Structure 1
Amino acid sequence: MLLTIESMKMETALHAEKDGTIAEVLTQSLARKPICS
């Protein structure tokens, strides 16, 4: 398993197709912002 995303009491696992090394992880937090207005 590459990573697990947890949001609103649900978990989603992301699997890699082959072995490797992660060079960089880019993220953006959208917490507390409305999805639609």
Structure 2
Amino acid sequence: MPINLARIDDRLIHGQVITTWVKNHDIEQILIINDKVAG
């Protein structure tokens, strides 16, 4: 599966933003990588 959209940011993803991305880009999977969230 190719990566079609990537965002590198110090903020986590806001629900309204990700909802729009999922609809507009036919996103099947979302990965949030953050040391504090994983910890």
Taking structure 1 as the reference length, the TM-score comes to: 0.23
Larger radius of gyration: 1
Taking structure 2 as the reference length, the TM-score comes to: 0.23
Whose strand fraction is larger, Structure 1's or Structure 2's?
1
